Amino acid sequence: MGKKVLVLAEVRDGELRNVSYEAIRAAKEIASDGEIVAAIVGAGVQSLAEPLIHYGADRVLVAEDEKLKNYTSDGYFQALLQIVDAEKPEGIVFGHTALGKDLSPRLAARLQAGLVSDITSLEKVGENVVFTRPIYSGKAFEKKTITDGIVFVTVRPNNIQPLEKDENRSGEVTPFSVEIKDLRTIVKEVVRKASTGVDLSEAKIIVSGGRGVKSAEGFKPLQELADVLSAAVGASRGACDANYCDYSLQIGQTGKVVTPDLYIACGISGAIQHLAGMSNSKVIVAINKDPEASIFQVADYGIVGDLFEVVPLLTEEFKKVLVKS
Amino acid sequence: MNIFVILKRTFDTEEKISINNGKISEDSAEFIINPYDEYAVEEAIVLRDQHGGEVTVVTVGSEEAEKELRTALAMGADKAVLISNEDLDSQDQFTTSSILATYFKEQEFDLILGGNVAIDNGTGQVGPRLAELLNIPYVTTITSIKIDGSTVSIDRDVEGDVEKIETSLPLLVTAQQGLNEPRYPSLPGIMKAKKKPLETLELDDLDIDEDDVEAKTKTVEVFLPPKKDAGKILSGEIASQVKELVSLLRTEAKVI
């Protein structure tokens, strides 16, 4: 029996986030042959709906209200609850993003539902869907099932392959009228600090610096390399504790857990707490002066050398080959 | 002000993980206050010192968690409550938040703080779930909090950007790194902590029926990630190593 599954599509800076398509893919597995209903919430987001159909949604509901312009738990919660009440889905999928992490537990609590957060894969086993998720920041994994009620999961960005885009797919896009009452939390202002605009959790390539970077200034060559590769810049706890960079860049068991296609670790020794945050990256490059540094044990490729010599050369070399291709 | 901190005992971040009989082995592991909860404890103490009142730290866990509660008391918290979950066969975030909600419904509270995520299970669910069950607003991943009367101004980290938020008490917040620098317990603090009240509650004391808090999810398997083969350490002149690396990333690893 197919299940009806609701997917919350997420908009950032006027664009759909990739994780929305990944969530649709996960929803497909949960739904079997059931219907995938995507919901898009915000203000002025109607025009973004179509690609959700191309990536596998059967219908899209667009819930718009001026009060939903900025994300707030109260505003989005009311919108989602009204959608859930109307659609009565048997499954719900969110992205495991700042928004998804904030909102999903609240909705699960109201629905008295179990919630499996931060899944990296899923598989059908008989009638059940089994979800795999990292624990101890990726030092181990667990497989989980939901034993009772709605199947509610959040998917970690970058791990589940979206379906092929099919521009011939068609489906209804309908406004969903919501009534948003008082918001108990108000967003006064959003201060942009994320330097490159490439979010760490969704970045395909990350250039990361540790204590070996030596100063805030020392991050410059890393940023230049990142710019050439359209990569995000990250850091180890050592670099953050030494005030070389903002804590929002920290990767590790405290900090962000990332799984990019390529992780370039510069001047990072490889403490266990850092490895937990990045060792599941697909390809790891380590650049470190110390040949004994433990980062080399998880690296696919290593260069033993001074990052201030290696990184600028790397930037130049990438510039050359990327221009050619 | 009545300030509460919900905290969890977790593995130390430097611990390696091994599996024994299908479970994460706890043998000889070092335990700590979940680092994000430690920020919450610190912030609670600072806020109490500014505004007066009392800090109560609460955990749902085994009796071993008394050690972490004592640490929080040594940092400066006033009281601790350990809600024992040892009788439960199955538990998940639904369970923990339901137990905490039952406890908090009998308390007078202005502010509840917690970590934004625990470094073991890493779901970040309990805080927002609890706020919903108590019908109070919440703000997650905060890096600053200022209280003026019943108005609360908060900086919230959102994937590197900062949201400036205004809200009011009663409130639940979860701590992000950067909120503060947790203090180490002082020796006098440790001595005092031994005499501070630590209450242990059984589920019966809270009139909780096990069936009502039974987990909604089940762990069917725990496993370690596959061991990685040793990588390739390049050699030769740095300039030629760099060329080789770029070529390997393009042709062998195919990530560029």
Please answer whether residues B121 and B246 qualify as being in contact, where contact means their C-beta atoms are separated by less than 8 angstroms. Answer: no
Encode burial over B172-202: b for 16+ CB neighbours within 10 A, e otherwise. Answer: bbbbbbbbbebeebeeebeeebeebebeebe
B46-64 average pLDDT score:
97
Residue from A76, A102, A181 to probe the interface with B (highest B Cβ count within 10 Å) = A102
pLDDT per residue over A217-241, tens digit each? 999 999 999 999 999 999 999 999 9
Q: Which residues of A touch B141 (CB under 8 A)?
A: 98, 102
What pLDDT score was predicted for residue A195?
57
Cβ neighbour number for residue B22 with a 10 Å cutoff: 10
Quick one: pLDDT at residue B27?
Answer: 85
Q: What backbone phi and psi angles, to 5 degrees, belong to B238?
A: -55, -45
The answer to whether residue A325 scores a pLDDT higher than 80 is no
Q: What is the pLDDT of residues A171-192, one digit of tens each?
A: 999 999 999 998 999 999 999 8
- φ, ψ at A49 (rounded to 5°): -70, -40
Whole-number average pLDDT of chain A = 94
B177·A254 Cβ contact <8 A: yes
Contact across the interface for B119 and A137, Cβ inside 8 Å: yes
Which residues 6+ apart lie within 8 Å of A12 measured at CB? none
Q: How far is Cα B231 from Cα B251, in angstroms, rounded to an integer?
A: 16
The predicted pLDDT at position A193 comes to 74
- What proportion of chain B, given as a percentage, has pLDDT over 70? 100
**Distance from C-alpha of B32 to C-alpha of B11, rounded to nearest angstrom:** 6
Domain ranges of chain A: 5-175, 200-324
B249/A276 touch (CB, cutoff 8 Å), yes or no: no
Max distance between CA atoms of chain A, in angstroms, equals: 61
ipTM, two decimals, is 0.94
Instruction: Name the nearest CA neighbour of B56 among B77, B40, B35.
Output: B77
Residues 168-207 of A with CB under 8 A from B: 184-195, 199-201, 205
pLDDT at B159: 86
Contact A262 B157 (CB under 8 A): no
Structure tokens at A88: 């009565």
Asked if pLDDT for residue B65 goes beyond 70, the answer is: yes
CB-based contacts of A80, cutoff 8 Å, min separation 6: A8, A39, A41, A103, A107
Q: Taking CB atoms and an 8 Å cutoff, what residues of chain A touch B132?
A: 105-106, 109-110
Q: Are B129 and A135 inside 8 Å of each other by CB?
A: no
**Tell me: the pLDDT tens digits for B36-49?**
999 999 999 999 99
Residues A200-324: name the CATH superfamily: TPP-binding domain (3.40.50.1220)
Q: From A260, which residue of chain B is nearest by alpha-carbon distance?
A: B255
Supply the pLDDT for residue B122.
95
Contact B238 A313 (CB under 8 A): yes
Model-level pTM? Answer: 0.92
Q: Domain coordinates of chain B in residue numbers?
A: 2-213, 229-256
From the options 1.10.520.10, 1.25.40.10, 3.40.50.620, 3.40.50.300, give the CATH code of A5-175: 3.40.50.620
Contact B160/A246, CB-based, under 8 Å?
yes
* Superfamily (CATH) of domain B2-213: HUPs (3.40.50.620)
CB contact under 8 A, A109 and B168: no
pLDDT, tens only, B154-179: 999 998 889 999 999 999 999 999 99
Provide the pLDDT confidence category of residue A202 given band limits of 50, 70 and 90: confident
Closest alpha carbon to B181 in B12, B8, B43, B10: B43
- Which of B13, B132, B157 shows the shortest C-beta gap to A253? B13
Confidence of residue A61 (pLDDT cuts 50, 70, 90): very high
Q: Residue A14 above 90 pLDDT?
A: no
Q: Does A276 touch chain B (CB under 8 A)?
A: yes
User: Using 50, 70 and 90 to split pLDDT, how confident is the model at A196?
Assistant: low
For B97-149, what is each residue's pLDDT tens digit? 999 999 999 999 999 999 999 999 999 999 999 999 999 999 999 999 999 99
**CB-closest option in A102, A262, A313 to B255:** A262
Residue type, B3: I
CA nearest A285: which of A308, A311, A309?
A311
Q: Say yes or no: A242 contacts chain B, CB-CB below 8 A.
A: no
How close B220 comes to chain A (CA, Å)?
A: 6
Listed residue (B137, B110, B100) closest to B7, CA to CA = B100
Quickly list H helices, chain A: 18-31, 50-54, 73-87, 98-110, 220-229, 237-241, 272-278, 295-298, 307-324
Nearest 5°: phi and psi at A271? -60, 150
CA B2 to chain centre: 20
| Domains A5-175 and A200-324 are alike in CATH topology | yes
Between CA A95 and CA A19 the distance in angstroms is 6
pLDDT for residue A93: 98
